[in-house]
Chains A and B, each alone.
Chain A
């Protein structure tokens, strides 16, 4: 392994992308079947929940869909709810203060929707609460004709402040419920997508008032081997020869995890001169395991989740078969990203890198 010429570093950096959303036009954006399912659902008037742990491509998918909708002339918006004022904030117990906070949150949300869906057409409006927000949506010129259709995609959907969550999401459910009737609200011509690392039934437990309960649920999968191979063609684009052993080692290490695969490729692109071998991949994987923010975040999440750590011990040390869908801790670990469902439906460690990380984590705990 050797350092590449400085001049080519920028070129390689532009190819693989680890972290952040991958632009829809990027050659390293890898299409998956979930892309088409989400597109189909949103263009046939269905709500969509796009679920998965951190850094598997949820946001990239939203921007990809946005690019398609733009080309097709469908008014749309992608709003990252975690960037709204007071995201995730708890109530203050002071009614007036909470009401004031809600008004600021909804107004901020409405302004961002307006900026994207009707740039320059909607004057700033104060939106005081959920009813006013529906009124604001109904007044959007984009939904004026009876057959008009618009799409709003919410990223980080779990970060709606706790005390606004139920009313906010039940309003969106009401919009869907009102569609067949004569009293249909114009805002019901809008379809919504909700993306995030959450379990719908935990976010809004009341099934009758949850928009997730009537959404097309899409769990973002890891890349398949064929999709990884497609990504690996990028090495040719940047003038690096990837050996068969190197390609296999990349697959073996990340098993299609989107971020980890991109991260390994990105680091290899920086580190290798002419070709990428199995040994190069091992070196890069060791370095990633030593210090990578993505993995550090996973460890931090585990530190905060003792029940989930106990479950990992059951899976790794006792080699128990735990079914993800019926075990809350396992489901939580699936959203943290540590586990995934194996062929028999039982929990498996997501990939080799995570396996090494989790074993090291449990060993360190045992020693301490």
Chain B
């Protein structure tokens, strides 16, 4: 750890044109347990005096130079680099764009480790830097990987059935498939960017060959990533609340009724509208097995359906924020406004229980396993709730921005978290060493 309160592990030298990238880099390093000095959040007016900058560099163990065409021309970057080299600091060069010949003023940088960010993953770079600081090693692994997945808020994420790929969608109207290239390094393999509006929901078929995605312009996109073929199906002007697969059929729960699309052959859209006189659901979810459906109506009624078994529950909560089925479709975890979590079984009241999280900021919920729940907050905080130990909450840490979507891998070893910043973060699940917390240091 740094020796004094105003000392830091790394000092990030950069041109202000590169501030957004540096903020992202700093967030990743901090999540990895590295303390960072970045003028955007540390500097007072007096800190801009060159002598004070030199003192700050002297207190840091390493200097990260963010090199871009703007940085090459920056007198500050030159001053900070010269200072760090003169003080024999460890220097890491993070290049945000290809730069031909380094100018004479920065020629000394050629001797240090370079990370070309158009080739390397940010997570790799962060991991390398974190390894320079042994104290950071214990926490860096909590978030296994973190990367910018979308421009603007991400809205949904789903694991492929083989657990090797992630499908993500966001307000940029792009569907991306991510695959792990190396430990901690994920890159987009294929991209569908034809939709002209937000993509709000995404689900893999159970066979893993096809992906269904809902576009906010009321269309369903069906995509075969292996052959790069897609179809667009116009939907009625109903708000799609939930998406799921049942064999080759896509199931959609909407405010106007149920819609199904048979993907075989030419495909066929079937609509089952609700009675106009009946109240419409305002939130709904389909279990991963597509055997269970939950619908919440504005009048406070929650309806759970599992095949022929139906259960209606009158909820005494202000509003429902989210709910999600466990993998087998036997239990529903419901997140109410105010942070209260309630768990319901489909056909039996005995399994109902309530957890008072007292977190008004909690916005998303997911099952990690049959006895472990994960919640995400609007301030990025992630927590787990271990059900057998009676509601014990464990704070995992803070992801990069408000949590937008959560998805647990089929083998329940990784959890994908999408953020409103467009970032994706992966968290490892370890049941051996930390059964209470469930998610933590991977073995």
- Residue-wise, chain A 318-353 has the 8 Å CB interface mask toward B (1 for contact) of 101101000000000000000000111110000010
> B135 in the interface, Cβ–Cβ < 8 Å?
no
Q: Are B153 and A317 in contact (CB under 8 A)?
A: yes
A367 vs B171: C-alpha distance when bound (angstroms): 10
Q: Are A317 and B420 in contact (CB under 8 A)?
A: yes
Pick the contact of B282 from A342, A363, A366 — CB < 8 Å? Answer: A342
Pick the contact of B319 from A321, A356, A366, A367 — CB < 8 Å? Answer: A321
A320 vs B298: C-alpha distance when bound (angstroms): 13
Q: Are B404 and A317 in contact (CB under 8 A)?
A: yes
A289 vs B297: C-alpha distance when bound (angstroms): 33
> B391 in the interface, Cβ–Cβ < 8 Å?
no
> B363 in the interface, Cβ–Cβ < 8 Å?
yes
> B115 in the interface, Cβ–Cβ < 8 Å?
no
A363 vs B196: C-alpha distance when bound (angstroms): 11
Given the known interface contacts A252-B237, A320-B363, A363-B172, the answer about A346 and B319 at a Cβ–Cβ threshold of 8 Å is yes
> B369 in the interface, Cβ–Cβ < 8 Å?
no
Size category, B interface: 20 to 34
> B314 in the interface, Cβ–Cβ < 8 Å?
no
> B345 in the interface, Cβ–Cβ < 8 Å?
no
- B267-291 interface with A by 8 A CB criterion: 279-280, 282-283
- Minimum C-beta distance from B156 to chain A (A): 11
Q: Are B279 and A343 in contact (CB under 8 A)?
A: yes
A345 vs B299: C-alpha distance when bound (angstroms): 10
- A281-317 interface with B by 8 A CB criterion: 313, 317
Chain A residue nearest in CB terms to B363: A318
Q: Are B280 and A356 in contact (CB under 8 A)?
A: no
Q: Are B152 and A366 in contact (CB under 8 A)?
A: yes
Residues of B within 8 A of A346 (CB): 282, 298, 319
- Minimum C-beta distance from A205 to chain B (A): 27
Size category, A interface: 20 to 34
Given the known interface contacts A320-B363, A344-B282, the answer about A363 and B298 at a Cβ–Cβ threshold of 8 Å is no
Chain B residue nearest in CB terms to A351: B237
Q: Are A363 and B198 in contact (CB under 8 A)?
A: yes
Q: Are A344 and B298 in contact (CB under 8 A)?
A: yes
A318 vs B404: C-alpha distance when bound (angstroms): 7
- Minimum C-beta distance from B172 to chain A (A): 7
A362 vs B337: C-alpha distance when bound (angstroms): 24
Q: Are A359 and B216 in contact (CB under 8 A)?
A: yes
Residues of B within 8 A of A320 (CB): 321, 363
- Minimum C-beta distance from B160 to chain A (A): 24
A343 vs B298: C-alpha distance when bound (angstroms): 7
- Residue-wise, chain B 316-336 has the 8 Å CB interface mask toward A (1 for contact) of 000111000000000000000
- Minimum C-beta distance from A339 to chain B (A): 14
- Minimum C-beta distance from A264 to chain B (A): 15
- Minimum C-beta distance from A304 to chain B (A): 22
A342 vs B298: C-alpha distance when bound (angstroms): 9
Residues of B within 8 A of A86 (CB): none
> A75 in the interface, Cβ–Cβ < 8 Å?
no
> A19 in the interface, Cβ–Cβ < 8 Å?
no
Q: Which 9 A-B pairs have the closest CB atoms?
A: A344-B298, A366-B152, A252-B237, A321-B319, A317-B153, A363-B171, A359-B198, A344-B282, A318-B363
Q: List 14 A-B contacts (CB under 8 A).
A: A317-B153, A317-B155, A317-B171, A317-B420, A318-B420, A321-B283, A321-B319, A321-B320, A344-B298, A362-B152, A363-B173, A363-B198, A366-B151, A366-B172
- 20 new A-B contacts at CB < 8 Å, known A320-B363, A321-B282: A252-B237, A313-B153, A317-B404, A318-B404, A321-B283, A342-B282, A343-B279, A344-B282, A344-B297, A344-B299, A345-B298, A346-B298, A356-B216, A356-B217, A359-B171, A363-B171, A363-B198, A366-B152, A366-B171, A367-B152
